[in-house]
Chains A and B, each alone.
Chain A
Amino acid sequence: MALLRCSDLSLGYEGKPILEHIDFEVQAGEYLCIVGENGSGKSTLMKTILGLIRPLRGEVLTGDGLRPNEIGYLPQQTVVQRDFPASVYEIVLSGCQGRQGLRPFYRDADRELAWQNICRMEIEPLARRCYRELSGGQQQRVLLARALCATKKLLLLDEPVSGLDPKVTAEMYQLIGDLNRKDGITVIMISHDLEAALHYASHILHIGSRIYCGPVEGYLNSETGARWAGKGGQCPCQN
């Protein structure tokens, strides 16, 4: 069975559909990029997969022993976070909260996991620093480390490189690619950077008026993909 399966999924806000009849599967180990115009419902789809929004129709199923609370998430940043007094360590550790149930305090194992992920993201020197004083790229690493505390299997990333400069963007892609290839973590990432998506991902989900879901190789040959990639201006990619 697939790690994640959406069958005949319709989603939207307050009963008004934004996307309808979405069908796709994600197998363990894949790197799926979700692309599409701004406002086409990429973030909404991700929130529906996470159970933050109830689907209007259809369902999201998890398989392969993946429990719904074992999904790591890197949200598009909100305003509140920007001036929040919190140390990097506090934030990373809070990634373990989903597993705590009613237990009031973290266990040693949780603290160890938080440190491991801090090291994995190479942000040890920042551990005691205040989140709001970090650069955009550093903040994304912190949130990625937090997401890794919540999962060992599946990461959902909502535009993880938006607002980062080219060098930091490349590092971030590298980091995510390593997590996928070396650690075998399945990645679902929203991106409006088509060139990078084609370069790093193994699969593409294009949403909009036409929907494509399948391997990268097939995407460019498909009508949707050819049209979109041909537009050029859509992908502000540098390398």
Chain B
Amino acid sequence: MSKLALYLTQTYVQRALLVGVLVALCASLLGVTLVLRRFSFIGDGLSHVAFGAMAVAAVVGLSDNMLLIMPVTIGCAVLLLATGRNTKIKGDASVAMISVGALAVGYMLMNLFPPRGKSNISGDVCSTLFGGTSILTLSNLEVRLSIVLSIVVVLFFILFYHKIFAVTFDESFAAATGTNTGLYNLLIAVIIAVVIVLAMNLVGSLLISALVVFPALSAMRVFKSFRAVSVCAACISVICAVVGILFSAVQGTPVGSTIVVADILAFGAFSLAGFLHSL
């Protein structure tokens, strides 16, 4: 306990908590609509795309990776999500295709043209996928950027909540009765890409898909209205992020995987609660 209190006074732990909570909050809010549209894998897919883009940026020698990663990921998100359900290739298949493709191409490029001054490629790849310790070594700029973007995402979710519901529940009906579904699909896709790039930089691509999927699924076990599911998913996600970060700080486990384990435990608990309730 005293160890925990000591950690809590450290700036880097406070920052990790703040950013972790914000990213978890954003991811879980968007996760509800992704899960309900059968697009759970989009988080995973897009983070692999971001990884591929990062590899290209490193090979080309761009000074700021974000300049390439952000537009490429947003482009892919728009391609996958904003085209809606009428595409020729089924949604999940195209996600898998783009995801694996980007991962393979990125990894190959990094091996063919090792970026200068970096010899440990598999270490790099590993921390991209699993997050490593980057959330504990955030710069001031990164912290500020995540705070601003998180506020934008949460505001977007609140202001567009009813539109997201309408478009998610029944896209055809919404379009038929005059809702601009194309515009909202586009906005949702862009926001998701932003969240994923943010989160991948901070916590790794493995974690981001878990943050997107688990809280929404857990909340859906127990709650029965869209609003309750959204609120509950956000709470679960935030609590698990806090618990995971504190546990990993004390025990020295990897941050990303610790948060995922917390999310899995929460999912187990909610499944049990849902089961008991239905008896």
Q: Is the interface of B mostly helix, strand, loop or mixed?
A: helix
- A114-143 residues with Cβ-Cβ distance < 8 A to B are 128-130, 132-133
Known A94-B165, A97-B163: A87·B226 in contact at CB below 8 Å = yes
- B107-166 residues with Cβ-Cβ distance < 8 A to A are 158-163, 165-166
User: A50 contacts B224, CB within 8 Å?
Assistant: no
B161 nearest CB neighbor, chain A only: A104
User: A104 contacts B162, CB within 8 Å?
Assistant: yes
A150 nearest CB neighbor, chain B only: B177
Chain A residues with Cβ under 8 A from B160's Cβ?
104
Chain A residues with Cβ under 8 A from B169's Cβ?
81, 84, 86, 91, 94
Binding site for A on B (CB under 8 A): 36-38, 158-163, 165-166, 169-170, 172-179, 219-220, 223-229
Chain A residues with Cβ under 8 A from B177's Cβ?
69, 71-73, 95, 97-98, 150-151
How far is A106 from B179 in the complex, measured between Cα atoms in Å? 14
User: B162 contacts A80, CB within 8 Å?
Assistant: no
How far is A129 from B36 in the complex, measured between Cα atoms in Å? 19
How far is A93 from B177 in the complex, measured between Cα atoms in Å? 13
B229–chain A nearest beta-carbon distance, Å? 5
A58–chain B nearest beta-carbon distance, Å? 19
A106 nearest CB neighbor, chain B only: B162
A55–chain B nearest beta-carbon distance, Å? 15
Known A51-B176, A84-B36, A97-B177: A133·B170 in contact at CB below 8 Å = no
Let me know if A109 is at the binding interface, CB within 8 A: no
Chain A residues with Cβ under 8 A from B174's Cβ?
94, 97-98
User: A85 contacts B179, CB within 8 Å?
Assistant: no
How far is A133 from B277 in the complex, measured between Cα atoms in Å? 14
What are 15 contact pairs spanning A and B, CB under 8 A? A51-B175, A71-B176, A75-B173, A80-B36, A80-B38, A81-B170, A84-B36, A91-B169, A93-B162, A97-B163, A98-B178, A100-B179, A104-B158, A130-B224, A147-B173
B222–chain A nearest beta-carbon distance, Å? 9
Chain B residues with Cβ under 8 A from A227's Cβ?
none
Interface pairs A-B: 5 shortest CB-CB: A69-B178, A130-B224, A98-B178, A98-B177, A87-B225
User: B229 contacts A75, CB within 8 Å?
Assistant: no
How far is A146 from B161 in the complex, measured between Cα atoms in Å? 18
User: A86 contacts B162, CB within 8 Å?
Assistant: no
How far is A84 from B166 in the complex, measured between Cα atoms in Å? 12
A14–chain B nearest beta-carbon distance, Å? 9
Chain B residues with Cβ under 8 A from A86's Cβ?
165, 169, 224-226
B226 nearest CB neighbor, chain A only: A86
B174 nearest CB neighbor, chain A only: A97
- A43-87 residues with Cβ-Cβ distance < 8 A to B are 47, 50-52, 68-69, 71-73, 75, 78, 80-81, 84-87
Let me know if A90 is at the binding interface, CB within 8 A: yes
Name, among A50, A72, A84, A133, the residue most crowded by chain B CB atoms within 10 Å (CB to CB): A84
Name, among B37, B159, B166, B175, the residue most crowded by chain A CB atoms within 10 Å (CB to CB): B166
Known A85-B224, A85-B225, A95-B177: A47·B162 in contact at CB below 8 Å = no
Name, among A47, A93, A150, A151, the residue most crowded by chain B CB atoms within 10 Å (CB to CB): A150
B226–chain A nearest beta-carbon distance, Å? 5
Known A73-B172, A73-B173, A104-B162: A90·B226 in contact at CB below 8 Å = yes
User: A68 contacts B36, CB within 8 Å?
Assistant: no
User: A146 contacts B173, CB within 8 Å?
Assistant: yes
How far is A151 from B178 in the complex, measured between Cα atoms in Å? 11
User: B178 contacts A68, CB within 8 Å?
Assistant: yes
Let me know if A99 is at the binding interface, CB within 8 A: yes
User: B224 contacts A133, CB within 8 Å?
Assistant: yes
How far is A52 from B227 in the complex, measured between Cα atoms in Å? 28
Chain A residues with Cβ under 8 A from B161's Cβ?
104
A80–chain B nearest beta-carbon distance, Å? 7
Chain A residues with Cβ under 8 A from B172's Cβ?
47, 50, 52, 73, 75, 78
Chain A residues with Cβ under 8 A from B158's Cβ?
104
Chain B residues with Cβ under 8 A from A52's Cβ?
172, 175-176
B222 nearest CB neighbor, chain A only: A85
- B166's partner among A81, A97, A132 (CB-CB below 8 A) is A97
Name, among B172, B177, B179, the residue most crowded by chain A CB atoms within 10 Å (CB to CB): B177
Known A73-B172, A78-B170, A98-B179: A90·B225 in contact at CB below 8 Å = yes
- B170's partner among A75, A87, A129, A156 (CB-CB below 8 A) is A75
How far is A136 from B5 in the complex, measured between Cα atoms in Å? 55
User: B176 contacts A73, CB within 8 Å?
Assistant: yes
A171–chain B nearest beta-carbon distance, Å? 23
How far is A73 from B178 in the complex, measured between Cα atoms in Å? 11
